[in-house]
A and B are shown apart, each in its own frame.
Chain A
Amino acid sequence: MVNPATILVTGAMVGSLYVLIAIGFSLIYGVRGVINLAHGAFIMLGAFAYLVAGGQVSGVAAFVIAILFVGLFAVGLYLGLVRYIEHNVVITFLATVVVALIIQQLLTLEYSLAPRSLEPIVSGGIAFAGTRVRYYQLIAFALSWVALGLLFLFVRRTTLGRNILATSMTEKGAKLAGTNVLYVNVATWFVAGAFAGFAGVFIGTLQSTSPTMWINPLGLAFIIVTIGGVGSIKGSIIAAYLIGFLETMTVTFVGPAWRGMFALLLLVVIILAKPEGLFGREFIE
């Protein structure tokens, strides 16, 4: 007999991780209209940054370093490349894939393709609702909500956040109202990168860290953002949890091999029935 509480707890844990995976992708898509296919590579860089820093400093410090490193890397990618090509969707699409492939090659040269496991920030776990939950899963769940809360406060309460929202609605209008659009873009890429770095640390810990680990999170981010609605943070959060619960139920009732199948079916249904996604383009509501 399956305990529904087990599905609830596991689904929530998976969903919280998927939120982290999708939020940066959604943010850049929503504010800039840029489909950043290097997003999966950002997540991978977060895992590797944590791996490298973890050998030198404490787990918590390595976690912070990974977040900052990916945030700054994202800003560098924007300033060094994307800002010059972002008005051409196809070129941006191709260029960000190439960036991801270059990062994959460089990491392969340095670390080989062998998967590595990351040392969790906190080891151990507790039995809860008929399942065993590891402490770092609980930390990922709690911190993802803290990070989302901070993101909401940032866009709602700060001048820069309001400018990000405004620019997501109309860049021309924002310029004519005196917004520093370059500053807005840099901040957006930093926040998106930081969320990806955050996700990378926990994905690398829960699964494995290797130079090919960027593909699955990228596909997942794409599915979540399409289901939730392009540019809608609220939509991304709901879609991430929806897929988290769907996958957990699939694994429980059908089998692990079918894990991603129903998320893809849901994607097809949404594309056919509501192509704009569950929440359309409303950004942060």
Chain B
Amino acid sequence: MPGETLLEVDDLSVFYGSSQALGEVSLDVDEGEIVSVIGPNGAGKTTLLESMSGLLPYEGSVRYQGQEVSERNVRALVGDGLLHCTEDRDLFPFFTVHQNLLMGGQRLGRSEREERLDYVYDLFPRLDERRSQEAETMSGGEQQMLAIGRALMGDPDLLMLDEPTQGLAPVIIEDISDAVEELRSEGLTLLLAEQNTTFAMQHADRLYLVETGTIELSGTDEEFKNNDYVRDAYIGIT
């Protein structure tokens, strides 16, 4: 069951110069639930997540654990358990898998870091097999696992995944899907930004549809599955 509200966004607007990327977006994420933001390429999903994790300045309000995000820097937010896996993954290409994971767990004490490493390697056995491999030499799917693994090393309270299935083979998407369900079973709160509507609806408790920088629709996964517009435009079932 969802708990207290972890993330509250009210009337969020983001501008790139004079161009408005997001307009008065409001949403919330409760503890323990999986929320997904879906929408086409360029709709503003990445901008939304980047403003939430402190990477972009914004107008309006974004409160994480009751505190305004803009009052803290990215590092402080990471320390408070807000971890963000970006669309580009932003891995350290010349570091090995193990070194990338250690960077993600740098705030933790030695024993806690070792525990998190075991946890990540259990969740993604492929990473365990490739501990000494440099990130830049890995496949896209493995890099995605590493990006999620690095974020998990930070012991998140809220994990934001931006396009976790983009460009991945179906078999890898299944692995990512299994990991998301494992994280759900542990009670981790997740915010997914996805173009892959099927994946999003498979996992999310609630969804928001973003188009051209505004939220056009919100509801539960069932409501989305039964919505004619969503079915026509995003799932392709009539």
Contact = CB atoms under 8 A, between A and B. Distances in A.
Interface of A: 159, 162-163, 165-166, 169-170, 172-181, 282-283, 285
B106 A176 contact: no
Contact of A172 (B55, B78, B93): B55
Given A169-B94, A170-B91, A173-B92, A179 B99 contact: no
Given A169-B92, A175-B55, 18 more contacts: A162-B99, A162-B102, A163-B103, A165-B95, A169-B94, A170-B90, A170-B92, A173-B86, A173-B91, A176-B53, A176-B55, A176-B74, A176-B78, A176-B83, A177-B78, A178-B78, A180-B75, A283-B94
A169 B83 contact: no
B154 interface: yes
Q: Which of A159, A175, A178 has the most CB of B within 10 A?
A: A178
B99 A175 contact: no
Interface of A is mostly: helix
Assign chain B's interface to a size class. Answer: 20 to 34
Contacts of B150: 177
B79 interface: yes
Contacts of B231: none
Contact of B95 (A169, A175, A179): A169
Given A172-B86, A177-B78, A159 B93 contact: no
Interface of B: 53, 55, 74-75, 78-79, 83-84, 86, 89-95, 99, 102-104, 106-107, 150-151, 154
Contacts of A173: 86, 89-92
Contacts of B95: 165-166, 169
A33 B78 CA distance: 25
A150 B181 CA distance: 46
Nearest to A283: B94
B106 A179 contact: yes
A221 B146 CA distance: 37
Contacts of A285: 94
Contact of A175 (B74, B93, B106, B107): B74
Contacts of A159: 106
A166 B75 contact: no
B79 A178 contact: yes
Nearest to A171: B90
Contacts of B94: 165, 169, 282-283, 285
Contacts of A175: 55, 74-75, 78
A170 B53 CA distance: 17
Nearest to B50: A172
Contacts of A283: 94
Contacts of B53: 176
B213 to A, nearest CB: 22
A173 B99 CA distance: 13
B103 A172 contact: no
Contacts of B84: 176
B75 A178 contact: yes
